[in-house]
Structures are given as C-alpha cells and as structure tokens.
Structure 1
C-alpha cells in the first residue's frame, strides 16, 4: 500500500469497527488513498506521513510523530477528551462531528416523549402479564417543550416537534442569537423557560453552568405531568433529586439515555421505577453514522485543498 492521504485510526466507534468507516471513505473517495492500519506499528507508520487522520482520539506523542498531519477529523461532536493544546502546538487543525447525530437523536427524543405520553412502557408491561387495562394518556399536540441546548441536535429536535404541533422554548448561552424555538432564554432564565413548558429535553454539553442544572428546584418548577428526556450528559441531572421526584409523582416520567453514575449499577433504584426508561448511552447509534462523518470529512478535504476555512473547526 502506498502512503495514505487519510488514516482511519484503529478505534471502534459506537459499536462499529473503524474498517467500516474506511470502506465508506474508499467508496466515496476513489482518487485518494485511505489507510486503516491493522496493528499499532502500522498506525504509527501511516501517521508518520499522512495529511489527515480521523477517529476518536490521538494522544500527544502520536501528534508529535505525525510530521505531515494537517487535520484531525474527530468523529464525535464533543472534544473534551482531546488534547486540543497539543494539536494547536503542532499546527494541526481539529474538526468535530457536530451535526451527524441530529436525525437519530431527535428520533430518540420524539419516540421517548410519545412513549411516555401514551403510557407505552406500562402497556408493554401489561402485555407481558396479560393484563387488559387502560391508562390515562397525554397528547403532544398543543403542548410546549423546553429544549436546553440549541446546537445541531437541539435544532433537529425543535424542527421535528414542530411537525407534531408542539410549541418550543429554548435555553442557550447566547439567547440574543435566537434559535429554532418559538422563544429563547439564557441559562439565568432557565426556570422561566421550564415553567412555560410541559416537558423538558436536555441536549446541552456538560459545563460548569450545566452540571446538576436539573436539581430539586428545577424539578419543582416542572409540572407534575412533565416528561424529562436526557440525551445530554448524566451529570446535567442531580440523580438523587430526580429519583425522589419520580418516586413521589412530582413529574410524570423520565427517559434517560445518560445517567450519573454511568453505567448505571444494576441495583440502582432508577431501574425499578415504572415511569422511567433507560438506554445505555446509545441514542446516537445509527447505521448512517459513518456516511454522515464521511460527508463532513469529504467537504473538509476539499476545503483543506483550497485553503478555505474548515467546517466544524475547533482548533
């Protein structure tokens, strides 16, 4: 194999092997050499000459040895796990995969809201036991959903809720920018936003501002028929406060793709609640993941060749 233009790192991504991503890139970039090393030694050799690397992470030592590297194309939206200073020190641009999760995570949120509004978890449990019993339900139509975080994922959620006749209010750091929701508030007004809503969706990064944002006070602000959906990070929610709120019927239900702690221990009391659905941090899972990552990478390869600004550049 000749020296690769792009190296797909030896990392498994969302339960899928990096070789699958390499095949997608080879199909779509037939004029470029796409490398996917089998061994650590091969990876070091390919990185020594490659112009672009893509994957989950690259440590400081590997960055220093990658003498020709111009771009690291991250395959996650978050970059908190990366040594951004090391990339900057070695003149390597970094892009993230913001936007690739919009459709799939938005579908998770819509499905969760509908499931708990229509009491599907209880219906499924009754079906397992052969119990014919109706449950009181809600309609999403005509309700209001507060979305904390109006990035690519929050935007995708708001767009899809609109099709269900749902009003939306958003919370973001810079409310003056507006957003896809009917109203936009800053974090200092999060209680105002939540008080104006029926349900609450968390789609924000974990920061000093958002850590334990959903505490007993904010849960008290939510209406008793409110549904909480967390696809952000577990630590955005104060777990003990949420548990108590759910146990005492202070909110209707919660759908949690992320928890604190994570993984959630098998003996944690959240597992025992009928009004909670828990998934193992896989709302972002989709068979289209690598295709969407490839869309971004292909666009940025063209931009890199043209000396233009890169999409989703963080360094």
Structure 2
C-alpha cells in the first residue's frame, strides 16, 4: 500500500493472478508464497487448473506465469500486464500481446548468478579436462593426460545482458581477455572490448576466440549466428558454450565441425531440436557436454522473480497504464 495520500485505496490495490505452470520442477506454490510475502496487502491468486485459469484471467489486469497460450489470452479481457517468469519471451504470442496493448515484462536478472556459474563450470571442465579424469577414475586407471590453462585465453561473450555481464564478472580473476558482442556497442560493457553484430567484426572476434559463450536472446540477428562459416573461423582449440537458445547454433554445422575436429568441443544447455532426440549424433561425442536446459535452475529462482514482479505491481498501482515497468519488453 502506498504512503501517497493520493494513491489507490485498499480496494483499488492490484491483485495478481499466477498461472499454474512451474519451472525446473519447483512447485509454482513457492512462487505464490514469495509474492504473498512481498505483497501482503494484495490478493495473490493461483489458478491451479485450466478451468480456473480461464475463469480468473477474464477480469485480471496483472497476470504472471511461465507461459501464456494464445487460447488463454483470448479470454483475458482486462489484461494490462503479463509478467513472464522466463528471461526469454520468444515462446509467447508477442505480436498478439502488442496488438492488444498488453505490456510484457521478463525475468532478466533472475538467472545471472546461476547461469554464470554454469558457464564458468563448463569452461573449467574443458580447460582442465575433468571429464577425462572422471573416465579414468571410473576405470581405476592412473594415467596422466595433458590439459589446458584458462589464463591468457580469449573469451567472447555474445549478449551483455544480466547473464553476459555476470559471466564476465566471474571470469575477471582468471586473467582472460574478454570480447563482448551486443546490439548497442556504444553502451560499452564489462568486457575488455565491445563490438556490434556487423559480420566483419564478429568474424574477426571469432578468429581470436578460445571460448565462445552464447548468452543472447533468439532474434533474427542471432538465429544461426554460429553457422558453418563461424565454426570454420573459430580456432580448432575453441570451445562453444551455449546457454542462449538452440537455434543460435546451426546443429548440423556443429555436428560436422565436431566430426572434422574444427573445434575442440561444445557445452550445450540448449539444443535445436529440443529436447534432443535419443538417436541424435550429438549424444555420441565425448567432447560434448549436454545438460537438459538446466543452467537456469536455482533454489533462488522464485525469490528473485518475485522481487521483480512485486516491484512492478507497486509501480502499476501508483501510475496505472502509464507506469514504467522493470524489464518491460512489449510494447
């Protein structure tokens, strides 16, 4: 409740509808509890069945959840704000939401620490070859093997949002050179060098890269960014780490590059297609690490998400349709 005497009364406080889908196997009820803790003066309602969602969304101006199907959106007559629980929003009917003047926010910032730790672990795995040591331990085989050193390497991070920045910050103590690629290079960033998506600049950066970290949204610019030409441009000792979206990498080109040893390896938390079929050749490479879109998991997920959403509920209460919302992506 606002301290402004001219603000909304108790009866005008915005209630929040939470849709039923969870994420990473964490019960959605934990998200509801986190929101209720931050918004004690409001009603935070969980729609736990399809029928309940369809009924409750008809009069709900502020809705949050992991996804919003277009069929459900058709019933959302009062919807002003949809607070998506994911950082990526490419799975949403964004064009329809924009047409209906529904503002969409995302969960940018929720994933920074956990995905950055995942990326750092993947880089260190390929640097010190822990997977080789693991195989030899399981075989009870005491035999030395050659490894690499991260210090002095060049790490290129595609995407300097919250995740890319968190990755770069955690790399700083390791004595690496960093290149950041972003849509607005004039904004700068935490990397030693920042460039845009101009083809010549990207190719030049890839040619210098030892570890290529993909932490960007999937757009027309980034779709297929790592194609055959890019994989050929990378040094044969380079490693690709993808925590963005599967289609940022051309899968067939990646398989061919691995077979030809055009790169040293890949760590893939996302794939195209996804889930990866059981008979897909990527499963068979010793130098490919595959995790099931799991880098986003953290026990702090709903707590961080609730911080963002609760703040936006307060802003919406204060300023209504003209409110400036954190992480707004549409319109």
Q: TM-score, normalised by structure 2?
A: 0.88
Corresponding residue pairs, total:
314
Matched, 1:149 2:184: no
Tell me how far apart the structure 2 counterparts of residues 23 and 88 of structure 1 sit (CA, whole Å).
Answer: 30
Question: Structure 1 pair 173/33, CA: closer, same or farther in 2 (3 Å)?
Answer: same
Match of 1:243 among 244, 247, 255: 255
In structure 1, the residue matched to 2:7 is none
Runs of 4+, deviation exceeding 6 Å: none
How far residue 95 of structure 1 moved from its aligned partner, in angstroms, is 0.9
In structure 2, the residue matched to 1:313 is 328
How far residue 64 of structure 1 moved from its aligned partner, in angstroms, is 4.6
Q: TM-score, normalised by structure 1?
A: 0.92
Tell me how far apart the structure 2 counterparts of residues 216 and 40 of structure 1 sit (CA, whole Å).
Answer: 44
How far residue 60 of structure 1 moved from its aligned partner, in angstroms, is 4.3
Contact (CA 8 Å) 2:136, 2:142: kept in 1 or not?
yes
Matched, 1:11 2:21: yes
In structure 1, the residue matched to 2:6 is none
Q: Deviations over 1:242-277 (max 9, x none)?
A: 223223332222111112222222222222221111
Match of 2:138 among 118, 128, 133: 128
Match of 1:261 among 252, 273, 277: 273
Instruction: Please give the residue correspondences for 1:211-250 in structure 2 after superposition, counting only pairs within 5 Å.
Output: 211-250=223-262
Tell me how far apart the structure 1 counterparts of residues 94 and 287 of structure 2 sit (CA, whole Å).
Answer: 41
Question: Structure 1 pair 130/171, CA: closer, same or farther in 2 (3 Å)?
Answer: same
Tell me how far apart the structure 1 counterparts of residues 288 and 236 of structure 2 sit (CA, whole Å).
Answer: 15
In structure 2, the residue matched to 1:178 is 188
Q: Deviations over 1:6-29 (max 9, x none)?
A: 111011223223222112212232
Larger RCO: 1 or 2 (CA < 8 Å, sep 6+): 2
How far residue 61 of structure 1 moved from its aligned partner, in angstroms, is 5.0
Contact (CA 8 Å) 1:78, 1:96: kept in 2 or not?
yes
Contact (CA 8 Å) 1:122, 1:274: kept in 2 or not?
no
How far residue 296 of structure 1 moved from its aligned partner, in angstroms, is 0.4
Q: For structure 1, list consecutive stretches of 5 or more residues without a partner in the other structure.
A: none
